[in-house]
Amino acid sequence: MEISTTVPLPADPSTPAEAGAPLVLALPKGRILSELGPLLARAGIAPAADYADEDSRRLRFETNHPSLDVVRVRPFDVATFVAHGAAQIGVCGADVLMEFDYDQIYAPLDLGIGRCRVSVAGPQSSSTAEDIAAWSRVTVATKYPTIAHRHFAARGVQAEIVHLNGAMELAPSLGLSRVIVDLVQTGSTLRANGLVETEVIAQVTSRLIVNRTALKTRPEAIGAWIARFRAAMAELHAR
Ligand SMILES: Nc1ncnc2c1ncn2[C@@H]1O[C@H](COP(=O)(O)OP(=O)(O)OP(=O)(O)O)[C@@H](O)[C@H]1O
Ligand SMILES: O=P(O)(O)OC[C@H]1O[C@H](OP(=O)(O)OP(=O)(O)O)[C@H](O)[C@@H]1O
């Protein structure tokens, strides 16, 4: 994609003053990565060509900026890399940020991609949110144990968590749990598995995230990248 020269971008962080270890930008493989392309291009970031090829065994990629490398990791792991300072910048769903609630992560920018919601769902025959709130305990299959626990605890319901990494929608029909807490976008996965959404816990989009300590120690470089992403968002939305 051609990068606009009409809207000036903030200063390029690749200056001699920033010489040293390149900043690391952690990107989530999977569906967010496929939506990120135009935004990265607008922000003037061109990673090595195979960064989006998930068959490639490489995990770290140089970019057109000597002071910026990209790593490609699992979506849940982006937050962990950034929280521990292994990557200074990242892109991550708000669902993951809610689940881990790392205090080392600052999320300055909503990127408006990866739009979905975290919801409670159950069998069509079962229960409304009001019914569930009347129970004292409920079994919940989810890859979001903290979000689910917190959600039901706020309603005075004890959640017994069955921790799965995928295919949560199978759990109620196979007797593994009464309800599930999972991401919903179109609702087609729920429908295809005979489930209905009973409550939306939170709306989700992907966020630009940064490590708070890195932002203090390298404020110009990281601040310039935040500004670049912000300008890229503004440009894309103006089109
Ligand atoms: N159906 C969806 N619609 C929109 N965004 C979604 C949807 N499902 C997930 N996301 C967003 O994309 C992120 C990653 O989801 P994705 O399905 O690519 O990975 P995953 O399959 O959960 O990861 P892993 O490979 O580690 O199991 C989620 O954290 C969420 O922010
Ligand atoms: O409402 P929908 O549009 O049907 O989207 C929701 C589905 O998308 C996600 O799964 P994903 O496709 O990422 O597969 P996974 O469960 O294997 O991660 C999520 O876990 C749901 O199963």
Nearest-angstrom CA–CA distance, 58 and 34: 17
Residues 51 and 99 in one domain: yes
Residue 29 shares a structural domain with residue 87: yes
Substitution candidate for ligand 2 out of 34, 184, 206 with most atoms within 8 A of CB: 184
Q: Which of 32, 33, 91 to mutate to test the pocket of ligand 1 (most atoms within 8 A of CB)?
A: 32
Residue 223 and residue 210: Cα distance in Å, rounded?
10
Residue 82 belongs to some domain of the structure: yes
Q: What pLDDT is stored for residue 4 in this prediction?
A: 45
Based on the fold, state whether residues 97 and 177 are members of the same structural domain.
no
Same domain (yes/no): 107, 224: yes
Which residues surround ligand 1 with Cβ inside 6 Å? 28, 30-32, 74-76, 93, 95-96, 114-116, 165-166, 183, 185, 204, 206
Residue 9: the pLDDT is 43
Q: Does residue 28 sit in the same domain as residue 96?
A: yes
Same domain, 98 and 141: no
182 lines ligand 2 (CB under 6 A): yes
- Residue 204 Cα: closest atom of ligand 1: 31
- ipTM for the predicted complex comes to 0.95
Ligand nearest to the CA of 171: 2
Q: What is the pLDDT of residue 126?
A: 64
Distance (Å, whole) CA 79 – CA 84: 9
Residue 168 belongs to a domain: yes
- Look at residue 10 and tell me if it is in a domain: no
Structural domain of residue 91, as residue ranges?
21-114+205-238
Q: Is there a single domain that holds both residue 80 and residue 106?
A: yes
Residue pLDDT, tens place only, 182-234: 999 999 999 999 999 999 999 999 999 999 999 999 999 999 999 999 999 99
Paired with 196 in beta bridges are 122
> Does residue 99 sit in helix, strand or coil?
helix
88: CB partners within 8 A, 6+ apart: 23, 24, 25, 82, 210, 211, 214, 215, 218, 222
- Nearest ligand 1 atom to the CA of 114 is 5
The total of structural domains in the chain comes to 2
pLDDT reported for residue 19: 52
Residue 197 forms part of a structural domain: yes
Percent of the chain as helix, strand, coil, to the nearest 5: 35, 30, 35
Q: Are 226 and 4 in contact (CB under 8 A)?
A: no
Tell whether the torsion through CA atoms of 190, 193, 198 and 199 is positive or negative. Answer: negative
Task: Convert 22-32 to b/e letters by CB count within 10 Å (16 or more is b).
Answer: bbbbbbbbeeb
Q: Using a 6 Å cutoff on CB, does residue 184 contact ligand 2?
A: yes
Same domain, 110 and 27: yes
Are 35 and 116 a contacting pair, CB within 8 Å? no
Is 173 in the same domain as 120?
yes
Residue 187, domain member (yes or no): yes
For residue 82, the domain's CATH number is: 3.40.190.10
pLDDT for the residue numbered 51: 86
Q: How far is the CA of 95 from the centre of ligand 2 (A)?
A: 13
Q: Are residues 127 and 105 in the same domain?
A: no
Digitized pLDDT (tens) for each residue of the chain, 239 residues in all = 434 433 344 444 444 444 579 999 999 999 999 899 999 999 999 999 888 888 889 999 999 999 999 999 999 999 999 999 999 999 999 999 999 999 999 999 999 999 999 999 999 876 677 777 788 999 999 999 999 999 999 999 999 999 999 999 999 999 999 999 999 999 999 999 999 999 999 999 999 999 999 999 999 999 999 999 999 999 988 87
Assess whether 188 and 209 both reside in one domain.
no
Token pair 């690749």: residue: 14
Q: Report pLDDT for 129.
A: 72
210 and 108 together in one domain: yes
Is 179 a member of any domain?
A: yes
